[in-house]
Amino acid sequence: MLTKDKSSTFKLGAAIGAAVFFAFFVAGCGHKSADSLLDAGNTAMQTNRAGEAEQDYLKAEKIAPNDPRVHVALGNLYVFQHKPDSAQMEFMRVIELNPTDPASHLSLGNVYFAQGEYRLAEEQYRAAIVLDPQRSSYYLQLAQALSKEGRASEAEDQIRTALGLDPRNAQAHLALADLLDSIPGRQSEGEAEMAAARALDPKLAAAAASSTAAAAPAPASTVVAAAPTIKPLNKLYLLTKNSAVYQSPDQGSAVVAKVKRRKYVHVTGISGSYLQIKLRNGTVGFIPITAAE
């Protein structure tokens, strides 16, 4: 009788153990990893479902709170949603977790710059340069912050450093042309830099001239072209190609910026075979549909 009781108890215990194991197994199968949640959030961002993306990223944060990628994703999301305080906190967290990542310092600097906190932006840009001194674009960002602070001489030094690293950088020549043009007695130097920018990238250099011309009233006899028809849109697209950003939906128009593949852009409209986009700095322009998914 004692043996039978022991056998029954063993069978009952085994059954309970199997049930518990099965329950944990099923729960584990339905559990998403931080990687899968990040992927889901990125997919949601592509279709402008920012709310869903945020939920996915926050779930990923609970699973992997010390994964810098999660905080980068949240920071970029909050920049897109125009929530600078939240974006700032996320990028600061990335720097805390990975202080040697120059891109995180750049992102935090850009948040400060957009808020008019130029001195704080300067500090982050300088930190990025220390970590990656060969990246010419970091010096141009720093020059912008210095210029906003009225420190033209220091800004010029940074732009010339960028040109020393990349003499064929048309954007750097254009930045130097704009700076020199604003300094009394140095307009001729600015013209020389504009000529260099035009030789390297005619469309990019033309953007500065077109923006100046746009400020002047058109003569009464000027025929104004009809505004392009733009169908409103509000989505995020992943760029599949590098592309110039044109002032109008026409590759013959002025180039106002450039965008790079594997980056998300905020699409605000569609006009023929072009997408109207709005960049983080407020610039609005057009890219060919073939440049984005």
Rounded to whole angstroms, the Cα distance separating 291 from 257 reads 14
Q: Does residue 211 sit within a domain?
A: no
179 and 56, same domain (yes or no): yes
**277: domain range?**
231-291
Please report, in tens digits, the pLDDT of each residue of the chain (293 residues total): 445 555 555 554 555 454 444 444 433 434 579 899 999 988 888 878 888 989 999 999 999 999 999 999 999 999 888 899 999 999 999 999 999 999 999 999 999 999 999 999 999 999 999 999 999 999 999 999 999 999 999 999 999 999 999 999 988 999 999 999 889 999 999 899 999 988 988 876 565 555 554 444 444 443 333 445 677 777 777 888 888 887 777 766 667 788 887 788 888 888 777 788 888 766 778 888 888 76
Query: Are 101 and 69 contacting, i.e. CB atoms less than 8 angstroms apart?
Result: no
**Is 7 within the bounds of a domain?**
no
Is position 5 within any domain? no
Whether residue 237 is contained in a domain is answered as: yes
Dihedral of CA 4/8/9/10: which sign? positive
- Shared-domain flag, residues 140 and 235: no
Q: What's the number of domains the chain is made of?
A: 2
- 124 and 70 inside one domain: yes
Whether residue 244 sits in one domain with residue 183: no
Global pTM exceeds 0.75: no
If asked whether residues 174 and 250 sit together in one domain, one would say: no
- Shared domain for 107 and 245, answered yes or no, is no
Is 195 found in the same domain as 105? yes
Distance in angstroms (rounded) separating the CA atoms of residues 291 and 18: 54
**Are both 161 and 69 inside the same structural domain?**
yes
**Residue among 275, 280, 269, 270 nearest 290 (CA):** 275
Query: CATH code at 107?
Result: 1.25.40.10
**Could you tell me if 146 and 262 lie in one domain?**
no
